[in-house]
Amino acid sequence: MRRAVPRSTVLAGAGLAVALAGCLYAAVGAASDGGGGGDAPGPGRAAVRPMSAAAAAVVDSGARPDAPALTGADLDGKPVSLAEFRGQVVVLNVWGSWCGPCRSEADDLERLSGQTRTQGVRFLGINTRDRDRAAAQSFVRAHGLGFPSLHDPTGELLLRFPPALLNPQTIPSTLVIDRHGRIAVSIGGAVTDEELRPLLARVAEETA
């Protein structure tokens, strides 16, 4: 039985619903182990299979939980923190270089990152399940990603979020965090710029 997001509104309108496939980890190994997209499951590994369709949910302003503290190193080993972006709308995207749907959405996210910067929107990634940074760095170069990503190979950062809003097994996932540091939008699965843009505009226009 699916857990409902408290006081959330599921967007089902045209252009706002997100019903795209992602990747689901079927837990068969230790959470600290990484994975490769083409590796066969075995001891200490996680099997990757397509995730069922998921929808975007917008959380009512009065019910939004605070985003957890996120501090660590980016893919170049430089320190980065979610707190640096306080006062701006943040798109927090969880991805892995091994994940096909992550590759399909990466170009759209980079394009939207540039187009929404003047609206006070910033993008931050969480790279997960890449045991070393080399594969993730190659992914970033291939898609020309200009925004930083925290390196979280064990998924430890993902476990800090409410599981109803960010399932650590769902890759990719995207959250929109409002200017007060609260989780405003949750999306499980790949997203396009056309689907994410109106959600961002809605949060960016908020004044309270």
- pLDDT band, very low/low/confident/very high, at 203 (cuts 50, 70, 90): very high
For 180-195, what is each residue's pLDDT tens digit?
A: 999 999 999 999 999 9
Confidence at residue 116, expressed as pLDDT on a 0 to 100 scale = 97
Maximum pairwise Cα distance, the chain:
50
Alpha-carbon span 64 to 162, nearest angstrom: 11
Instruction: Assess whether pLDDT exceeds 50 at residue 38.
Output: no
C-alpha distances out from residue 127 to 29, 115, 154, Å: 19, 23, 10
Cβ-contact 98, 129 below 8 angstroms: yes
Third-level CATH fold of 8-204: Glutaredoxin (3.40.30)
pLDDT at 177: 98
The torsion defined by the Cα of 52, 94, 182 and 27, in degrees rounded to 10, comes to 60
- Summarised one tens digit per residue, pLDDT across range 142-153 is 999 999 999 999
Find, among 187, 170, 160, 44, the residue nearest to 96 by Cα. 170
The answer to whether 95 and 172 have CB atoms below 8 angstroms apart is yes
User: What residue segments make up the domains of the chain, in order of their start?
Assistant: 8-204
How many other β-carbons are positioned within 10 Å of the β-carbon of residue 154? 15
At residue 208, the pLDDT reads 60
In this prediction, residues 32-60 reach a mean pLDDT of: 46
* pLDDT for the residue 41: 32
Confidence (pTM)? 0.77
- Tell me the pLDDT tens digit for each residue of 75-99: 999 999 999 999 999 999 999 999 9
Whose CA is closest to 168, among 42, 28, 27?
27
Lowest mean pLDDT among 4-18, 24-38, 113-127: 24-38
Look at 32-46, 62-76, 95-109, 142-156 and tell me which has the smallest mean pLDDT. 32-46
> Looking at residue 207, what is its pLDDT?
77
Per-residue pLDDT of 109-146, as tens digits, reads 999 999 999 999 999 999 999 999 999 999 999 999 99
